[in-house]
Structure 1
Amino acid sequence: MSAAPRDPTDLGRLDSWEGVRTVVAGFGVSGFAAADNLTHLGSSVLAVDESEGDQERAEKAELLEILGAEVRLGSGSTAELPPDVDLVVTSPGWRPSAPLLAQARARGIPVWGEVELAWRLRHPEHDTPWLCVTGTNGKTTTTQMLDTILRAAGLRSLAVGNVGLPVVEAVMDPEPYDVLAVELSSFQLHYTRSMSPQAAVVLNIAEDHLDWYSSMADYAADKGRVYEHVRDACVYNTAEPLTEQLVRDADVVEGARAVGFGLEMPAVGMLGLVEDILVDRAFIPERATSAAELCTVGDLASAAPHYVSNALAAAALARAHGVSQAAVRDGLRAFRPDGHRITEVARHRDVVWVDDSKATNPHAAASSLMAYEPVVWVAGGLAKGAQFDELVRTVRDRLRGVVLIGRDRAVIAEALSRHAPDVPVRQVEAREDGATRDDGGADLMGRVVAAAADLVVAGDTVLLAPGCASMDQFTSYAARGDAFAAAVRALAAEDR
């Protein structure tokens, strides 16, 4: 006879989880973190994943089993939910329609994400504020900017979530953080219910992950969940009315403010630009009559409009936490974006070669393209259901030429034929299946760079901003960017 089920919804960090039977669905970074910490709290944990994974995953599985958890990896391990389960914690990439999750809902079993678990496991004596960042593009850059600003203010901060450490690991750290900069994807937000950030931002909403969502409305709704229960400030993008509408639709804590940011002169209650100065008219007492200078565009690592916009969003969240103007300035001056994000690779024959391999959807590619003119655009890969007509209409007058790669390059080629028929297009195919991955993409990118060099003229920029995911031909967007950079350097070396 099985034991009576235990309700985990009222349990927290200091409660005993003994007798709570938890299934952790997915054994990636967040899945392992959830399983590890729940086992530590006394829960009976079963972790499952269809993929057996690599040696590192096998070692993590062995460690968990030593600690008392059960791990089942490999085909068929996720097909059936065991009969005696009190809680399911899912990894963010799992669709709600996955059989195991559907079975849990049918049986009335709570389904949490790792972020939801982390929120519930916060120490009651250390209410560390969360400053949350989501959006289609710019999440990682903005979150890392924010973390750098918070550290410049002398705070013990950490960038967590969809970037860096899983949130549950940060929450369970014996030494509490002063504040957390939390990057959240739509997948993570889908499974989050009780989180109550101090402040949150939706940077933008554009077509992405339409292979996961049934509609843009569903995707936007999950992004908007970041505003639910916000305590102090809901930060939105004045250039994107949908982000403001998501604020209006949110159920926030009484007294929470709506704070806009944009690249124009700010109205009262907003952050924006006065000529080349980033200013705050939201978090100062005299905001009705003046603005506080935060930094200049020249203080930033890039003057690209989307980068400046990210800086304003990060500044707004930091100011909502009470960070000084000086700390905002010092943090933004010190910050440098990760590789493969508007990274200048080389200047060769008066041509600038730029790697923005992290631009994995049309919105990100458009933001990058709008920062340069004229451009030879390198694009293509896995489109994830996205269309490129609006992007091409927006940037066609900037295009010197286009070089296309990847499985879905025809989607981009068709948009170009409809809206920019006079722009020359070169399509570069892999020589044979598997060859690209075998050599890290060196041969493919060598031919891409050669094709771009044939199209470019002095004064142009060659921009890798694929607008697509990379996994059809590369192991990651980073591997794609590395191959591009290596090919550009090889081209430059030929002239020495």
Structure 2
Amino acid sequence: MGGGPVSSLDWINDADRLSPWPQAKVVVAGLGTSGFAAADGLLEVGAQVTVLDENDSSANAEKATVLEILGATIELGQGTTTTLPDDVDLVVTSPGWRPSAPLLEQAAARGVPIWGEVELAWRMQHPDRAVPWLAITGTNGKTTTTQMLESILAAAGLKTSAVGNIGRPVMEAVLDETSYDVLAVELSSFQLHWSNSVQMHSAAVLNLQPDHLQWYEGAGFDEQLDPMGRYRADKARIYHQVRHSCVYNVADPLTEGMVEEADVVEGARAIGFTLGVPGMSMLGVVDDLLVDRAFVEQRKDSAMELAKVSDVHPNAPHNVENALAAAALARSFGVPPAAVGQGLRNLQLGGHRIQTVAEHGGVRYVDDSKATNPHAANSSMRAFESIVWVAGGQAKGTTFDELVKTHGERLRGAVLLGVDRHVVARALAEHAPQVPVVVLDDSSTTVMQEAVREAARMARPGDVVLLAPGCASQDMWSGYDARGNDFAAAARALEA
């Protein structure tokens, strides 16, 4: 796995922004969005930075030019990440890199610390620029909930930014000239895996379902846990040393279990959210109102109105849960009740999340391309009574049995496409054999036009043709957004 000396810097494991960074030789693994931000931040404090990436695309070459001007060493192209340089004090990895990547295996074997960009950002705002983090993870709903939280915080007059897995690196906000009051931080399991000292003001786990299990197979993980156990353990890291509130989903016992097991700061509270009437220390729904029975003085016998269910767009059940989680985090930070409703009303969500894109002959065409795993697909399917389902793509090791068992009776038909279309087809054949299924073997992006035409033939007035693939998109598209755009274009092109 490679030799070489272990770092001689005795301060590196406790490093913060004011540490003597010019002494440190740091390798940044990957020149994506987070890698660029990490390298930029390290250069600002004077570290000796080398960036390694196998991808020598024009976009990476452009970023490399900027970093070289700032003083970094950049190596792009095949073979550049197979060997860790001998003299390295710290490796900062991009979130998608698995522990079995040669560079990271060699770092671990040599005792070189490995951080993610999120961990680096946390260190770089201490000790003199510390901003509280309100953090969100979960299999589904993270981005929407983070957007809701950002909007609520802004409605309360706070300077804030949505950062992390949502697209803007945390390090970028840390380097920003703006003095933020609080950050809304979306974190994936990958980002949490490479974080070890981050301490949230409050944190929420929205739900937990199998996803990304292939990432958790192989070397470099806790051998006593199976892939699902490793995935759960990484999600649970978000609660480590929480200072104020651990927010969990009452309907998902796994999230409450994480809170019960968490090593938190003394006095931190467990706060539940539920679509039902809330108990003490919960937020919930009463008579079409979102109410708070956690952050009010008389919570034994009263609740505070925060918003109307109609303030949530769309107000499908899973999205109301997202709103309650965002509200709980905001309330833990002292946001006044009126700001919750105002923030939810102000919010304009991005596309591809249960978005009606066309209507023809009494049939609605709904784009939920963001549903990239079965649990996310379940959330949108709950919102409709009669569905022609467009599904398939990269299943990432997940199964569709429970999804089909739950919603088989709602399905008018199904159109399947993508590399793992037969995984979905098998579940339908076994658990809903009455559902007509069309399997498309075309592997080009134009297959979406055929899929929409087939779905339209099956649909009847009152039905919803629902793109909720339950799978990732990169077998045929650049991302879920491109897939959703193709679906929307095909749906709009249909003759009424």
Q: TM-score, normalised by structure 2?
A: 0.95
Match of 1:101 among 101, 104, 128: 104
Q: By how many angstroms is 1:85 displaced?
A: 0.5
Assess, with a 3 A threshold, how the Cα gap between structure 1 residues 118 and 455 changes in structure 2: closer, same or farther: same
Contact kept? 1:133, 1:201, Cα under 8 Å: yes
Q: Aligned partners of 1:4, 1:295: CA distance in 2, in Å? A: 53
| Pairing 1:460–2:463 present | yes
Amino acid at match of 1:282: A
Match of 1:157 among 160, 164, 181: 160
Contact kept? 2:278, 2:284, Cα under 8 Å: yes
- The gaps in structure 2 that reach 5 residues or longer are 218-226
Task: Give CA-to-partner distance per residue, 1:271-299, whole Å, 9 cap, x none.
Answer: 00112111000000011110000111111
Match of 1:212 among 215, 228, 234: 215
Q: By how many angstroms is 1:123 displaced?
A: 4.2
Match of 1:77 among 73, 76, 80: 80
Deviating above 4 A after TM superposition, structure 1's stretches of 4 or more consecutive aligned residues are 1-4
- Aligned residue for 2:214, secondary structure, equals coil
- Aligned residue for 2:366, secondary structure, equals strand
Contact kept? 2:163, 2:186, Cα under 8 Å: yes
Q: Aligned partners of 2:151, 2:438: CA distance in 1, in Å? A: 41
When structure 1 is superposed on structure 2, of 209-218 and 353-362 the one drifting more is 209-218
Q: By how many angstroms is 1:301 displaced?
A: 1.1
Q: Aligned partners of 1:256, 1:328: CA distance in 2, in Å? A: 22
1:359-370 residue pairs with structure 2 within 5 A? 359-370=371-382
Match of 2:415 among 403, 407, 425: 403
| Pairing 1:447–2:450 present | yes
Task: Give CA-to-partner distance per residue, 1:124-158, whole Å, 9 cap, x none.
Answer: 33431100000000000000100000000000000
Q: Aligned partners of 1:56, 1:73: CA distance in 2, in Å? A: 11
Q: Aligned partners of 1:25, 1:381: CA distance in 2, in Å? A: 28
| Pairing 1:22–2:34 present | no
1:86-125 residue pairs with structure 2 within 5 A? 86-125=89-128
Q: Aligned partners of 1:194, 1:270: CA distance in 2, in Å? A: 28
Q: Percent identity?
A: 59
Aligned twin of 1:273: 285
Contact kept? 2:5, 2:86, Cα under 8 Å: no
| Pairing 1:327–2:339 present | yes
| Pairing 1:185–2:188 present | yes
Q: Aligned partners of 1:401, 1:98: CA distance in 2, in Å? A: 42
Aligned twin of 2:223: none
Contact kept? 1:300, 1:332, Cα under 8 Å: yes
Q: Aligned partners of 2:310, 2:260: CA distance in 1, in Å? A: 34
Aligned twin of 1:49: 53
| Pairing 1:200–2:203 present | yes
Match of 1:34 among 28, 35, 38: 38
Contact kept? 1:265, 1:272, Cα under 8 Å: yes
Aligned twin of 2:360: 348
Q: Aligned partners of 1:344, 1:41: CA distance in 2, in Å? A: 48
When structure 1 is superposed on structure 2, of 358-367 and 334-343 the one drifting more is 334-343
- The gaps in structure 1 that reach 5 residues or longer are none
Q: By how many angstroms is 1:11 displaced?
A: 2.6
Task: Give CA-to-partner distance per residue, 1:345-396, whole Å, 9 cap, x none.
Answer: 0121111110000000000001110111100010000101111001100111
Q: Aligned partners of 1:295, 1:3: CA distance in 2, in Å? A: 55
Q: By how many angstroms is 1:4 displaced?
A: 7.4
- Aligned residue for 2:28, secondary structure, equals strand
Q: By how many angstroms is 1:427 displaced?
A: 1.1
Aligned twin of 1:242: 254
Contact kept? 1:204, 1:243, Cα under 8 Å: yes
Aligned twin of 2:428: 416
Q: By how many angstroms is 1:10 displaced?
A: 2.8
- Aligned residue for 2:429, secondary structure, equals helix
Q: Aligned partners of 2:170, 2:350: CA distance in 1, in Å? A: 20
- Aligned residue for 2:216, secondary structure, equals coil
Q: TM-score, normalised by structure 1?
A: 0.95
Contact kept? 1:5, 1:20, Cα under 8 Å: no
| Pairing 1:376–2:388 present | yes
| Pairing 1:260–2:272 present | yes
Aligned twin of 1:312: 324
Aligned twin of 1:142: 145
- Aligned residue for 2:358, secondary structure, equals strand
1:269-308 residue pairs with structure 2 within 5 A? 269-308=281-320
Q: Aligned partners of 1:402, 1:213: CA distance in 2, in Å? A: 31
Q: How many residues align?
A: 483
Amino acid at match of 1:14: L
Amino acid at match of 1:248: E
| Pairing 1:63–2:63 present | no
Q: Aligned partners of 1:3, 1:389: CA distance in 2, in Å? A: 48
Contact kept? 1:5, 1:84, Cα under 8 Å: no
Q: Aligned partners of 1:111, 1:4: CA distance in 2, in Å? A: 12
Q: Aligned partners of 2:392, 2:186: CA distance in 1, in Å? A: 26
Q: Aligned partners of 1:362, 1:188: CA distance in 2, in Å? A: 22
Q: Aligned partners of 1:242, 1:3: CA distance in 2, in Å? A: 39
Contact kept? 2:7, 2:89, Cα under 8 Å: no
| Pairing 1:173–2:160 present | no
Q: Aligned partners of 2:371, 2:146: CA distance in 1, in Å? A: 17
Task: Give CA-to-partner distance per residue, 1:22-42, whole Å, 9 cap, x none.
Answer: 000111000011111101111
Q: Quote the RMSD (CA, aligned, Å).
A: 1.4
Contact kept? 2:51, 2:73, Cα under 8 Å: yes
Q: Aligned partners of 1:403, 1:172: CA distance in 2, in Å? A: 47
Q: By how many angstroms is 1:419 displaced?
A: 0.3
- Aligned residue for 2:365, secondary structure, equals strand
Q: Aligned partners of 2:107, 2:347: CA distance in 1, in Å? A: 44
Contact kept? 1:346, 1:353, Cα under 8 Å: yes
Contact kept? 2:158, 2:181, Cα under 8 Å: yes
Aligned twin of 1:9: 13
Q: Aligned partners of 1:364, 1:15: CA distance in 2, in Å? A: 43
Assess, with a 3 A threshold, how the Cα gap between structure 1 residues 374 and 58 changes in structure 2: closer, same or farther: same
Amino acid at match of 2:366: V
Assess, with a 3 A threshold, how the Cα gap between structure 1 residues 373 and 3 changes in structure 2: closer, same or farther: closer
